[in-house]
Structure 1
């Protein structure tokens, strides 16, 4: 094994597994959703406070018509009563990952 292959193998071993990275992103997304979205939406899967007119995140996640691009746009675009829309792309991706983590796996 040449030095380049050995270094590449070490780099690959140091990278987090995709499932672990996805969980970390979804966990960060939940934290961000609780900070930015919980004023209006129920963001936790078990329920909680939120406006009755704003859809709960668990309901959005279960709607088969809603795609990942739609969710990401929903997170980043101004919608009813949303005061602060300045989300970085990483924050939008994390919140979207959290929304998708609420989707039931059949």
Structure 2
């Protein structure tokens, strides 16, 4: 009877050790998965920073283009006004010469 009890106890310990080994193995697998996911997260964060940086660069370039477009429109409008004034002045001079002769 004592021998049977020791054998059952031994089997119980053996089973407990097997379960512990399985749990330990599962923990190691989970650790590896966690490390992989952490690495992927870091890579995604780097990509996000790069993407945000590129977006800011593009926004700045777009703003520069807007400013250039606006300033060229302003100068073009200014030039048109100056030309209109010159045309008006020349027209006046031509009319006064016509009336004068």
Q: Rg bigger for which structure?
A: 2
Whose RCO is larger (CA < 8 A, sep 6+)?
A: 1
Please state which structure has a larger fraction of its residues in helix: 2
TM-score by length of 1: 0.27
TM-score by length of 2: 0.28
